[in-house]
Amino acid sequence: KASTEDVSSMHSDRRSGDRRAKGRRSDDGVAAASDSDTVLPVNSKASVHSAASRLAQSIGELKSPFSDTSAFETLQQELQQVKKMLEEKMSAAEPAQPIMPNPVQYILINRILKMGLPLEFARALTDDLDIHHDVHSEANDQAAIDRAWQLCLSRIEAIIPLAKDDIVAAGGTVAFVGPSGAGKSSAISKLATRWLLEHSAKDVAIISHDAGSESGAGRMSRFSSMTGIPIFYVDKDHALADRIAQCAKRRLVLIDTLSLSPENPAAQQQLAALSALSQIKTLTVLPATGDRRWIARALHQYQQANSVGCLLTHMDQVESIGELVAVLLTEQSPVHYLSDGGLLPKYIQTPQRAKLMEKLFKANVAGDEADYIAVPTINVHAEDASALATG
């Protein structure tokens, strides 16, 4: 048991602690913690309210860094001016219209773009569909989408510029121009060999500008030895017109030109000489592996008075021909022949619309079959073909 003196000592220590705690109260009436971390209450609620009021007043007197709104108002006015300017420019450029009139057109345009054809062509192709009003009300009808897609394919097939005649089979004088590596000599060899399958070597001749090149002359010399087709070279002693006159009795004359850049003065002279001879028909030979801009530029550079179209080589090396078709549609350069890599005559053919459409379609739908229907057997509508050709 604790003694009486011990109990008295404990009470005395407690009273001393209370007095020390009261002495540590702050001026604002909030009690400080005691040695035992106990917060003592203030004497009254009024003192707490007074302290809170003083704190609120101090906060209210603080100045916000965003209190000056003049800069924000200026920025808002400038943005409104920019918005108005853009709206005026857009309204002046094109009348207001919905970006995508109906979901079916969106699906069709998306498919055409995946083929590699440009947006402006896709929009023109789908804007005036005959079944436009029908499919607009049947946006969720797969049959409507299928009908519209088949009509789009028919239109594309109808307007691809393909030559109607086989100009080599018909005979005459045909010149081949184009950049180095395009395959002019190979194409001429195939066409000349194909001619031999139905005619005599006495009926055909080749005129070459490549007399100065050992590799070119040697290659043509070997070809002449194998086929019996004579080769006549254009040089400083024999002009092109002279060689053509020398071959006047030949039913078919094929002219192989120099592979020079169109900016080269010699190339310009060569093109001028071809243009001056009205009996010549000129084909621009281009590799199908070139990109859209390069092919378009080459068609312009080699264009001259006697140009009748183009011959596309390396078709076997191309998976997607969408950009190629886009150039042909834009430039309206008829395709006369398509050539693959082989040297036999069977590797050069006149183009067939159905095969081109199959290549155009299949090469661009791999991995996305869910969004496409099968390639239909396309029957070109005559009215669609004529309208698009003239438009």
CATH number of 282's domain: 3.40.50.300
Q: Does residue 383 belong to any structural domain of this protein?
A: no
Domain span including residue 155: 103-159
Domain co-membership, 126 together with 15: no
Q: Does residue 276 belong to any structural domain of this protein?
A: yes
Q: What is the pLDDT of residue 269?
A: 85
* Whole-number Cα distances in Å, 197 to 222, 223, 237, 255: 19, 15, 34, 20
Q: Determine, yes or no, domain membership for 366.
A: no
- Within 10 Å of residue 6's Cβ, how many Cβ atoms? 9
Read off the pLDDT band of 218 (50, 70, 90): confident
Residues 114 and 41 in one domain: no
pLDDT of residue 9: 53
Number of domains, the chain: 3
The 172-177 sheet, strands edge to edge: 231-233, 204-208, 252-256, 172-177, 280-287, 307-313, 335-339, 348-349
Mean pLDDT, to the nearest integer, of 310-319? 92
3-state secondary structure 274-324: HHHCCCEEEEEEEECCCCHHHHHHHHHHCCCCCEEEEEEECHHHCCCCHHH
Tell me if 377 is assigned to some domain: no
Same domain for 108 and 84? no
Cα angle vertex 206, ends 201, 209, to 5°? 165
* 135, 159, 183 - which closes a domain: 159
Residue type, 342: G
Same domain, 176 and 320: yes
CA–CA gap between residue 49 and residue 272 (Å, rounded): 103
Identify whether residues 213 and 309 lie together within a single domain: yes
CB half-sphere exposure, 63, CA atoms < 13 A: 2
Residue 285 covered by a domain: yes
pLDDT at 169 over 90: yes
Tokens of 379: 């029957």
One domain, residues 80 and 123: no
Query: What CA–CA distances, in Å, run from 62 to 65, 67, 95?
Result: 10, 11, 53
| pLDDT-based confidence at residue 343 (cuts at 50, 70, 90) | confident
Shared-domain flag, residues 66 and 134: no
User: What percent of the chain is predicted at pLDDT more than 70?
Assistant: 65
Whether residue 176 is found in the same domain as residue 311: yes
Residue 161 tokens, joined: 């510029």
Instruction: Determine the pLDDT at residue 378.
Output: 36
Average pLDDT over residues 37-59: 54
Residue pair 250/205 in contact (Cβ under 8 Å)? The answer is yes
Same domain, 318 and 177: yes
| CB 145 within 8 Å of CB 129 | no
Which of 51, 80, 96 is at the close of a domain? 96
Residue 312: closest CA among 334, 329, 293, 331: 334
Q: Look at 67-76, 133-142, 326-335, 382-391 and tell me which has the smallest mean pLDDT.
A: 382-391
d(CA 12, CA 190): 125
More confident residue, 90 or 210: 210
Structure tokens that stand for 92 in this block: 């002046």
Same domain as 180, residue 65: no
Average pLDDT, stretch 143-152?
Answer: 86
Q: What are phi and psi of 172, to 5 degrees?
A: 115, -165
- In DSSP terms, which residues pair with 282 in a beta bridge? 175, 307
**196 and 340 both lie in a single domain:** yes
The secondary structure of 38-74 as a DSSP string is PBPPPS-HHHHHHHHHHHHHHHHHSPPTT---HHHHH
Question: Average pLDDT, whole number, for the chain?
Answer: 76
Q: Percentage helix, strand, coil, to 5, in the chain?
A: 50, 10, 35
The answer to whether position 365 is within a domain reads: no
Confidence of residue 63 (pLDDT cuts 50, 70, 90): low
384 found inside a domain: no
For 235-256, write each residue's pLDDT tens digit. Answer: 889 999 999 999 999 999 999 9
**What's the average model confidence in pLDDT over 332-361?**
90
Confidence at 377, pLDDT banded by 50, 70, 90: very low
Please provide the DSSP assignment of 10-45 as one string.
HHHHHHHHHHHHHHT--TTSPPPB-TT-PBPPPS-H
- Does residue 108 share a domain with residue 87? no
| Domain annotation covers residue 49 | yes
| Contact between residue 98 and residue 136 where contact means Cβ atoms under 8 Å apart | no
Residue ending a domain, among 96, 115, 130, is 96
Looking at residues 214-231, what average pLDDT do you find?
A: 82
* CB-based contact 291:323 (threshold 8 Å): yes
Q: Identify the pLDDT of residue 318.
A: 86
Which H/E stretch holds residue 148?
helix 142-159
CB of 249 closer than 8 Å to CB of 141: no
How much is the pTM?
0.65
